[in-house]
Amino acid sequence: MKNISILGATGSIGTQALKVIAGNPGLYKVCALSANGNADLLIEQALAFKPMLVVIADEDKYQTVKAALSGTDIKVLAGEAALCEAAGLDGVDLVLTAIVGSVGLGPTIAAIKAGKDIALANKETLVVAGDLITSLAKAHGVKIIPVDSEHSAIFQCLVGEPANSVEKIYLTASGGPFRGKDLSFLRGVTKTEALKHPNWVMGAKITIDSASLMNKGLEVIEAKWLFDLEADQIDVIVHPQSIIHSLVQFNDGSMKAQMGLPDMNLPIHYALAYPDRITNDFKRFNFVDYPELNFYKADRKTFRNLELAYTALRQGGNMPCIINAANEVVVEAFLQDKIGFLQMSDVIEACMEEIGFVEKPSLNNYLETDLHTRIFASQLVTK
User: Do 157 and 301 belong together in one domain?
Assistant: yes
With contact defined as beta carbons under 8 Å apart, do 198 and 174 qualify? yes
Determine the Cα–Cα distance for residues 262 and 26; give it in Å rounded to an integer.
27
Q: What is the pLDDT of residue 104?
A: 86
What average pLDDT does range 195-223 have in this prediction?
88
Q: For the chain, how many structural domains are there in total?
A: 3
- Where residue 293 falls (left for φ over 0; alpha for ψ -120 to 50; beta otherwise) is beta
Against a cut of 0.85, is the pTM above it? yes
What average pLDDT does range 93-114 have in this prediction?
91
User: Do 207 and 170 belong together in one domain?
Assistant: yes
Proportion of the chain in helix, strand, coil states, percent, rounded to 5: 50, 15, 35
User: Do 66 and 24 belong together in one domain?
Assistant: yes
User: Do 14 and 137 belong together in one domain?
Assistant: yes
Domain finish residue from 103, 131, 146: 146
Residue 302 lies in a domain: yes
User: Do 169 and 304 belong together in one domain?
Assistant: yes
User: Do 142 and 155 belong together in one domain?
Assistant: no
Residue 279 lies in a domain: no
Band (pLDDT 50/70/90 cuts) for residue 124 is: confident
With contact defined as beta carbons under 8 Å apart, do 171 and 248 qualify? no
Domain residue limits at 364 = 316-383
What average pLDDT does range 165-178 have in this prediction?
94
User: Do 301 and 363 belong together in one domain?
Assistant: no
Domain finish residue from 146, 177, 212: 146
365: domain CATH number is 1.10.1740.10
Band (pLDDT 50/70/90 cuts) for residue 166 is: very high
User: Do 63 and 210 belong together in one domain?
Assistant: no
User: Do 164 and 298 belong together in one domain?
Assistant: yes
User: Do 163 and 303 belong together in one domain?
Assistant: yes
User: Do 212 and 356 belong together in one domain?
Assistant: no
Cβ count within 10 A of residue 213? 29
Q: What is the pLDDT of residue 201?
A: 67
Cβ count within 10 A of residue 313? 24
Residue 300 lies in a domain: yes
55: domain CATH number is 3.40.50.720
Burial class (CB in 10 A: 0-12, 13-18, 19+), 71: exposed
User: Do 187 and 300 belong together in one domain?
Assistant: yes
Q: Assign 31 to helix, strand or coil.
A: strand
